């Protein structure tokens, strides 16, 4: 039977699970990647954008011709802009200045109005992309603010979608799940579902060097001294998202810019999978985790690959950019 759909939004979800055969040979477990780039907006954020918007429609909060406002590092914005086109909404997005020009161009090509805000300011600073989005939503008639960082529907989208998909795809045999934490919704919703099926499944969150999430998980305290700028987009935070269920996470692994960039490049060259910067981060997290934890041949490990590498061509897949950051391409050649 041919795959025929009424519109592009019907392609959201049911993404494939693909075994990684080259990059993690030193790990005896079977390692699989959940390829969220196979969503029509090329990222896992399609799931939450569709779920939040459709829920708002059912509740009567979103009226025809309304405006959707959101804070985004890029991917959620792509998803909202795409959905807005199909459903007839206006889309206004606030992004940080870490967002590459091609991402901003992509958002504008999908009809979004984009505000670029400084990344290196506190979350409650009126210039931050969080506060700018809140202000725009408050000032814009007939608008809603998606607020993915503190929206429980972010969690629910993955609890009802990503988690059940992985459970079914692994026939309930999954032993470990690794996912990056930005808003926290992907890992939290997926973990909650999987833990309900089998509480022994190990849930590993991936955090960025420069973010506060790992230490907060371990101590319950935000260490503001840990906060510094970093290059990985959509990973880590300088605040504690309400969509992050810390009680569902067994451990956090913190990764840095350089190792994550090399891991993404290595994944492309060894697996043929062009993943984004956070794909490299989750691969690097498994590498670091395996240095202190033992896997068996019976273990089934799932890594959620959040988006596609085409959005990072001028960044991690650009040798000049890598060298400008002090990431020696010779190091990549040595790894390979």
**Residue ranges of domains in the chain:** 8-38+162-335, 45-148
The one catalytic residue in 45, 87, 195, 214 is 45
- 45 in catalytic set: yes
pLDDT (0 to 100) of residue 336: 61
Residue 232 in this model has a pLDDT that exceeds 70: yes
The pTM (predicted TM-score) of the whole model is: 0.92
- Mean of the pLDDT values across residues 225-243? 90
Q: What is the pLDDT of residues 94-142, one digit of tens each?
A: 998 878 888 899 999 999 999 999 988 888 899 999 999 999 999 999 9
For all residues of the chain together, what is the average pLDDT? Answer: 94
Q: What is the pLDDT of residues 31-45, one digit of tens each?
A: 999 999 999 999 999
- Nearest CA to 82 among 143, 41, 113? 41
Q: What is the pLDDT of residues 255-301, one digit of tens each?
A: 999 999 999 999 999 999 999 999 999 999 999 999 999 999 999 99
Q: Read off the pLDDT band of 25 (50, 70, 90).
A: confident
- Give the CATH class of 45-148: alpha beta
Q: What percent of the chain has pLDDT over 90?
A: 83
pLDDT (0 to 100) of residue 332: 66
Angle ∠(309,314,320) on CA atoms, nearest 5:
125
Residue 316 in this model has a pLDDT that exceeds 90: yes
**Candidates 3.40.50.300, 3.40.50.1100, 3.30.428.10, 3.20.20.60; correct CATH number of 8-38+162-335?**
3.40.50.1100
User: Where are the strands (E) in the chain, listed by range?
Assistant: 17-19, 30-35, 67-72, 90-96, 113-117, 143-145, 176-180, 202-208, 251-255, 300-305
């Amino acid at each position: 039977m041919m795959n025929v759909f009424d519109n592009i939004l019907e392609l959201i979800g049911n993404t494939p699970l693909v075994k990684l055969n080259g990059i993690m040979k030193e790990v005896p477990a079977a390692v699989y990647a959940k390829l969220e780039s196979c969503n029509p907006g090329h990222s896992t954020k399609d799931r939450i954008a569709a779920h939040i918007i459709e829920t708002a429609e059912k509740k009567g909060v979103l009226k025809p011709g309304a405006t959707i406002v959101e804070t985004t590092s890029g991917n959620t914005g792509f998803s909202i802009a795409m959905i807005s086109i199909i459903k007839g909404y206006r889309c206004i997005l606030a992004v940080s200045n870490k967002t590459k020009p091609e991402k901003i161009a992509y958002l504008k090509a999908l009809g979004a109005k984009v505000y670029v805000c400084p990344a290196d300011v506190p979350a409650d600073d009126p210039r931050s992309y969080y506060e700018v989005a809140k202000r725009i939503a408050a000032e814009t008639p007939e608008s809603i603010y998606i607020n993915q960082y503190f929206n429980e529907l972010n969690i629910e989208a993955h609890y009802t979608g990503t988690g059940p998909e992985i459970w079914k795809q692994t026939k309930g045999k999954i032993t470990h799940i690794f996912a990056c934490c930005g808003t926290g919704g992907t890992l939290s919703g997926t973990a909650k579902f999987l833990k309900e099926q089998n509480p022994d499944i190990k849930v590993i969150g991936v955090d960025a060097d420069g973010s506060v999430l790992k230490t907060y998980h371990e101590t319950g305290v935000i260490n503001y001294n840990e906060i510094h700028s970093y290059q990985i987009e959509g990973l880590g935070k300088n605040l504690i998202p309400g969509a992050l269920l810390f009680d569902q996470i067994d451990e956090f692994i913190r990764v840095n810019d350089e190792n994550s960039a090399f891991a993404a490049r290595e994944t492309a060259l060894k697996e043929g999978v062009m993943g984004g910067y956070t794909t490299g981060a989750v691969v690097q997290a498994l590498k670091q985790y395996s240095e202190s934890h033992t896997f068996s041949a019976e273990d089934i490990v799932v890594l959620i690959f959040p988006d596609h590498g085409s959005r990072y061509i001028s960044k991690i897949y650009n040798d000049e950019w890598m060298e400008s950051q002090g990431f020696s391409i010779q190091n990549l050649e040595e790894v390979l």
